[in-house]
Amino acid sequence: MYFESLSDLFTMGGHGPYVWAAYGIGLSVLVWNLLSPVLQGRRLASTIRRNALRDTVRKEHIGNEQLKSEGCR
């Protein structure tokens, strides 16, 4: 390592706040890029599954109604 001590690494001869702030923001940009598609994908998958389930229930319901009305006739 170039720096002699840990405090030397933090202060970086007065430039520490600038360098560490830039790296902090850089890291958060990378994390955001990583998390946002993952979360979007998960949300999407659960929505699609829920919709499919709803459609199945609805189809069964309609089927039952038809059976009932046919029975009446």
Q: Which of 4, 5, 38, 62 binds another protein (CB under 8 A)?
A: 38
Q: Which of 4, 7, 13, 72 binds another protein (CB under 8 A)?
A: 13
Shortest reach from residue 2's CB to another protein, in Å = 6
Distances from the Cα of 62 to the Cαs of 6, 56, 59, 66, in angstroms?
71, 10, 5, 6
Q: Binding to another protein by residue 31, rule CB under 8 A?
A: no
Cα separation, 39 vs 21, in Å, equals: 26
Q: Which of 4, 6, 7, 15 binds another protein (CB under 8 A)?
A: 15
Cα separation, 65 vs 69, in Å, equals: 6
Cα separation, 15 vs 7, in Å, equals: 12
Shortest reach from residue 57's CB to another protein, in Å = 10
Q: Which of 6, 7, 19, 69 binds another protein (CB under 8 A)?
A: 19
